[in-house]
Chain A
Amino acid sequence: MALAMVLSCLAFVSRTLPLLLVLSAANILVLVWLRRGPRTLKRELRTFCWQTLIILSLYLLRFRSMDGLWAGFKVSWQLFLAMLPVMAVSKTVSQAAAVRTLSRILPGQMAFVLSTCIKFVPLLLAEIKNIYEGQVLRGARILPRDLVRPWHWPDLLHCVIVPSIVQGMALAGNIALAAKARGFGRSPRRTCWPGM
């Protein structure tokens, strides 16, 4: 992660062609080291192309010359190199490792809350799916073909979004109760179970 941050920061200060080429080579080496195949690079390159198109058209409007286009391409290249290493690293880190790292950086309660929420999100998504299917069976106009018409959007809000928020609140209450029952927050010092 630290290496990715350094490479990302270096992208902002690399303003010349040789530096950008060296940094690009370093990024490719990191991708190979992280065992990210050409598919990852292809996906990120698609974002790069989209971003370059916008920046180049703005530079062309401003300068109306090839020099302007080159400057625009260089900026787009820099922005791409600033984002690529962090994207690659964050996709290779497992969830467990991410949570372990989180608990080192964030305060105890926040790390617990975040890791718990990530863990329970699939359950909440399943609940939301059940709510959605139930409302469709009741005749709510929330199928994808209905949502093409904007006047059906309030149905989605009232039939799915509000009940899902209520469900989320209820789940949060249950988790909090279970955590309290296991002594979470009883001691000001951070503890974990089983004892280490």
Chain B
Amino acid sequence: MQRSVFKDTAPAGRPTLKEALFLGFCAVFAVLARVALRLKLHITGHSMLPTVFFLMLARGSVRYRFGAVFTAVMAGSAAMFLGFAKSGPLILIKYLAVAIVIDVMAMLLPGRFHTVFWSALTGALAGSTKFVSEFAIGALAGMDQEVNLTKSLIEGGSAALFGLLAGALIPVVLRRLRAYGVIS
């Protein structure tokens, strides 16, 4: 039987090439937006806005179950190899922590971020992972426990707030994409 190039199929449990490429664009834009915001602003945790937005967009737009993790691996690799990773290889862990929360929440929420409340909650939870990563880095460097906790709480809280904002935007974007017939 002749294969059709128009039929974009993938083995079970893997994204199609079109989906993978879209996830790739989301990953690259997550990195570029993070860099652009760093140049303009100096607000703690603001980089979580594009990170959560693009990872949630990636998961919400494709049927692939681990869309956010796939995007996070690519974003982390791109950031590391293109020289945008301030924290070196730790950037991969930072992206992955956010992505795991998003993928788990997407599995628990059958509506895939249809409502603003659940989507914003997912964003806030994903953003708050910055607390864990910052605390771990501080502990590795031998920072005083109380100072480390205060610093991580400030950064994590701010990141959760920006994550909440990004999460609240996702249902609006997904509704428009569904209206255009781009996603099903």
Report which A residues bind B (CB closer than 8 A).
4-5, 8, 11-12, 15, 47, 50, 54-55, 58-59, 61-63, 71-72, 75, 78-79, 82-83, 85-87, 90-91, 93, 95, 98-99, 101-102, 105-106, 109-110, 113-114, 116-118, 120-121, 124, 157-158, 161-162, 165-166, 168-169, 171-173, 175-177, 179-181, 184-186
Contacts and interface: CB of A to CB of B under 8 A. Distances in A.
Interface in B132-160: 137-138, 140-144, 146-147, 150-151
Contact of A12 (B8, B89, B140, B173): B140
Main secondary structure of the interface of B (DSSP, over half): helix
| Chain B: number of interface residues, binned into ranges | 35 or more
Interface of B: 3, 5-6, 8, 16-29, 32, 42, 57, 61, 70, 73-74, 77-78, 80-89, 137-138, 140-144, 146-147, 150-151, 169, 172-173, 176-177, 180, 182-183
Nearest to A173: B18
Nearest to A99: B81
A71 B77 contact: no
A55 B151 contact: yes
16 contacts: A75-B143, A82-B87, A95-B82, A101-B81, A109-B17, A113-B21, A113-B23, A113-B74, A114-B78, A118-B82, A157-B173, A162-B180, A165-B57, A166-B177, A168-B25, A172-B25
B20 A113 contact: yes
Interface centre among B3, B83, B88, B180 (most CB of A within 10 A): B88
Contacts of A109: 17, 20
A82 B87 CA distance: 8
Given A55-B147, A113-B74, A165-B173, A121 B182 contact: no
Nearest to A184: B17
B131 to A, nearest CB: 15
Contact of A83 (B81, B88, B169): B88
B146 A62 contact: yes
Contacts of A55: 143, 147, 151
A175 B21 contact: yes
Interface centre among B21, B57, B143, B169 (most CB of A within 10 A): B21
Nearest to A8: B88
Contacts of B183: 169
Contacts of A166: 177, 180, 182
A120 B29 CA distance: 12
A162 B173 contact: yes
Given A165-B57, A165-B173, A180-B17, A82 B141 contact: yes
B165 to A, nearest CB: 10
Contacts of B86: 47, 83, 87
B182 to A, nearest CB: 5
Nearest to B141: A78
Contacts of A47: 86
Nearest to B14: A109
Given A59-B147, A102-B77, A106-B77, A158 B176 contact: yes
Nearest to A186: B3
Given A86-B88, A166-B180, A117 B28 contact: yes
B172 A181 contact: no
